[in-house]
């Protein structure tokens, strides 16, 4: 094992082990100094895991700092996002370049030393937790524990699927590995267990989780709440499990990473035993080392233990950047250059596949894809929204070969299975299928969809709207990251009837509409479903929720609705017409898309002069006041539902044409 001490700068007679230790200690001291200057953050884990991250990046990771979006790069996910300074230090020392949203490498450092000095400050590229899109080299936003490891499963699935779809003899275009660094908190969260179970079932041997077994959390020792036999649990999931008894043992770390790369048919968990705050003489295994700055005196003592200048701050010794350049830099540049040359030959040999690969990586769509979207003839009975969505989805998926997805065990009900010839299932023995089976794992499904999208596959996932609660944290992260994940939620109202209030969504539409950046669409008929898919598939930076389920003169009153309540308003409109009342039915499938239109358009749909307004939606009424005004009437749910047949529920809660007519009359009555 390399010694703890490290010279403050590279000397001509330094051994490779000395250079390794110098780099490790640079990561540690940058992390300590940044947290101390911010007076906020977590220094302990970056200090303890510095050798682990260094060994992976410097000796194994296939990643080019000059092109951090090279498609076949290995992915590194810091699932324990509170240890963000570990990643920022690596990005800086490896010289990772920034990339703009147009996929043009800019040449500037993704993380400068000034960014590190401004850790956790406004506009710094080093926020408190790693954020995708904000800092190049960060593969996914990680904040809530467990999200990172679950997202890494989606990335590993994407690698397998893209290899099956694009690789040809002599053209191994894809085959990247995915590494995720996790802590006790990640493994306690339920999402990680959902994701680990599915990863083992799918035999994702390109996936490696590294578990920092430091036996401490914010409140203290893990003995307070966690006594799992983690190794046995993961063996039960079908994983290969190996152990490194000392996080500082670079040779054993190398052996563990080699084992992961050479294991077939199973993902790998590397359990690494560590001491949090390693090198801080008085604060090992303490809450302070985990969640608070060390303090100036502890930092001086730690630096003394490293053989570091005690008063130096943000020191990057001479030779450290050069050593990274000779390791990950040289290896990544060579591998990327080989891949680019391979792609040029691939373009000539397989032009259609190369064009698809390029478009997918740039979030573009095939030429003429929109011609595949069907339209539906007028039908008094109306085609159920789920059935219309199934037809559109299958047509679109044939036109967009990288559109794939599935459901949380509900595809027969949500009608989201791809049924055309060749669609197939993604399984352990066949990675080319486009139907995913996530099992009853809504939360992991959401994170896996994020991982697929971050790898540039276009994913969708489906379930009952009520269960969006189970996946909401992952949906929220998709909105934060601005990635175009598609969620198809059905059974979107009290119309599920006898299943009762546990299965009847009331607050869920509002809950999804409350997420900034998420577009929620609830179409009213088959053609609105088709148009919704047409809009959604063109998104490049927004996730979307598609809610699909069955069921002569200026206007005097406006009737506003979404989904299956639109026909209810149409029925009320016909009754009002017989009474000589001019009403306009407005289908508002998406509040977000409506709000983006210019004022002239919005006024043409909802004339400001027409103040008599009624909204109808089998969901919470909160929010409709922005469209019906303070004096308008919102017909909706103000309680939870009940278990009964649909017609009885509609009568009980007032979703009948007569109530809409009555509300319209009230709006038109002279006001005192």
CA distances from 429 to 157, 164, 238, 670 (A): 13, 11, 15, 70
Torsion of CA 504, 506, 510, 511, to 10 degrees: -60
Per DSSP, 425 falls in state B
Collapsing DSSP states into helix, strand and coil, what is residue 489? Answer: strand
Tokens 């596949």 locate to 353
- Report the interhelical angle of 147-166 vs 351-361 (nearest 10°): 160
CA angle 591-597-602, nearest 5°?
80
Structure tokens at 172: 């191994």
**Cβ-contact 247, 272 below 8 angstroms:** yes
Residues 6 or more apart whose CB falls under 8 angstroms from that of 502 comprise 466
Cα(618)–Cα(447) distance, integer angstroms = 29
HEC string for 549-606: CCCCCCCCEEEEECCCHHHHHHHHHHHHHHCCCCEEEEECCCHHHHHCCCHHHHHHHC
Structure tokens at 246: 């000392």
For residue 112, which of 89, 133, 128 has the smallest C-alpha distance? 89
Cα(298)–Cα(296) distance, integer angstroms = 6
Cα(527)–Cα(301) distance, integer angstroms = 69
Burial of 373-408, coded b for 16+ CB within 10 Å and e otherwise, reads: bbebeeeeebbbbbebbbbbbbbbbbbbbbbbbbbb
Burial of 86 (0-12, 13-18, 19+ CB in 10 A): buried
HSE-CB of 451 using CA atoms within 13 angstroms: 32
**Cβ-contact 626, 632 below 8 angstroms:** no
Structure tokens at 564: 């299956």
**Cβ-contact 374, 394 below 8 angstroms:** no
Active-site annotation holder among 189, 442, 565, 617: 442
Bin 77: left if φ > 0, else alpha if -120 < ψ < 50, else beta.
beta
Structure tokens at 131: 């954020």
Cα(304)–Cα(575) distance, integer angstroms = 85
Beta strands in 262-377 (DSSP E): 268-273
Cα(369)–Cα(379) distance, integer angstroms = 26
Q: 442 an active-site residue?
A: yes
Active site residues: 442
């Amino acid at each position: 094992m390399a010694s703890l001490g490290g010279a403050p700068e590279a000397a001509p007679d330094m051994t490779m082990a000395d250079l390794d230790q110098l780099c490790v200690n640079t990561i540690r001291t940058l992390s300590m100094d940044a947290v101390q200057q911010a007076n906020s953050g977590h220094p302990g884990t970056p200090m303890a895991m510095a050798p682990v991250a260094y060994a992976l990046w410097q000796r194994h990771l296939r990643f080019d700092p000059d092109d951090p979006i090279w498609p076949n790069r290995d992915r590194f996910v810091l699932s324990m996002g509170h240890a963000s300074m570990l990643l920022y230090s690596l990005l800086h020392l490896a010289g990772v370049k920034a990339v703009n949203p147009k996929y043009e490498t800019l040449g500037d450092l993704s993380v400068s030393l000034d960014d590190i000095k401004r850790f956790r400050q406004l506009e710094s590229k080093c926020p408190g937790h790693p954020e995708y899109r904000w800092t190049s080299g960060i593969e996914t936003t990680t904040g809530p524990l467990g999200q990172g490891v679950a997202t890494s499963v989606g990335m590993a699935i994407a690698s397998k699927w893209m290899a099956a779809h694009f690789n040809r003899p002599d053209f191994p275009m894809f085959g990247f590995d995915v590494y995720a660094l996790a802590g006790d908190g990640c493994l306690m969260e339920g999402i990680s267990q959902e994701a680990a179970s599915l990863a083992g079932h799918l035999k994702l041997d390109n996936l490696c989780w590294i578990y920092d077994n430091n036996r401490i959390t914010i409140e203290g020792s893990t003995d307070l709440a966690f006594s799992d036999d983690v190794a046995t649990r993961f063996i039960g999931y079908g994983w290969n499990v190996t152990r490194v008894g000392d996080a500082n043992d670079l040779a054993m770390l190398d052996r563990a990473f080699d084992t992961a790369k050479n294991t077939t048919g199973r993902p790998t968990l590397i359990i690494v035993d560590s001491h949090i705050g390693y090198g801080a003489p008085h604060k090992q295994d303490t809450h302070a080392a985990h969640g608070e700055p060390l303090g100036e005196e502890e930092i001086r003592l730690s630096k003394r233990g490293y053989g570091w200048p005690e008063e130096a701050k943000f020191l990057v010794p001479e030779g450290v950047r050069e050593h990274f350049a000779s390791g990950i830099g040289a290896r990544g540049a060579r591998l990327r250059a080989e891949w680019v040359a391979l792609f040029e030959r691939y373009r000539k040999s397989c032009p259609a596949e190369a064009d698809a690969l390029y478009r997918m990586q740039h979030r573009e769509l095939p030429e003429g894809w929109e011609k595949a979207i069907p339209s539906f003839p007028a039908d008094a009975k109306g085609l159920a929204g789920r059935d219309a969505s199934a037809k559109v989805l299958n047509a679109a998926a044939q036109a967009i070969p990288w559109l794939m997805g599935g459901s949380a065990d509900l595809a027969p009900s949500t009608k989201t299975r791809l049924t055309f010839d060749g669609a197939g299932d993604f399984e352990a023995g066949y990675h080319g299928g486009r139907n995913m089976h996530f099992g009853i794992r809504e939360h992991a499904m959401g994170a896996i969809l994020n991982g697929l999208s971050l790898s540039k596959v276009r994913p969708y996932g489906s379930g009952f709207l009520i269960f969006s609660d189970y996946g909401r944290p992952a949906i929220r992260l998709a909105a934060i990251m601005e990635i175009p994940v598609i969620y198809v939620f059905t059974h979107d109202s009290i119309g599920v009837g006898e299943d009762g209030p546990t299965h009847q969504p009331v607050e869920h539409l509002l809950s999804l509409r409350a997420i900034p950046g998420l577009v929620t669409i609830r179409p009213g008929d088959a053609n609105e479903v088709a148009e919704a898919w047409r809009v959604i598939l063109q998104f490049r930076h927004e996730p979307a929720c598609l809610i699909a389920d069955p069921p002569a003169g200026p206007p005097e009153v406006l009737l506003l609705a979404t989904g299956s309540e639109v026909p209810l308003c149409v029925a009320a409109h016909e009754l009002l017409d017989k009474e000589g009342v001019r009403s306009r039915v407005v289908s508002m499938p998406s509040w977000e898309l409506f709000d983006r239109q210019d004022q002239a358009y919005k006024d043409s749909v909802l004339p400001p002069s027409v103040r008599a307004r009624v909204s109808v939606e089998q969901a919470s009424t909160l929010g409709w006041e922005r469209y019906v005004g303070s004096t308008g009437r919102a017909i909706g749910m103000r309680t939870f539902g009940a278990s009964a047949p649909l017609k009885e529920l509609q009568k009980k809660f007032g979703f009948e044409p007569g109530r809409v007519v009555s509300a319209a009359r009230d709006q038109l009555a002279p006001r005192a």
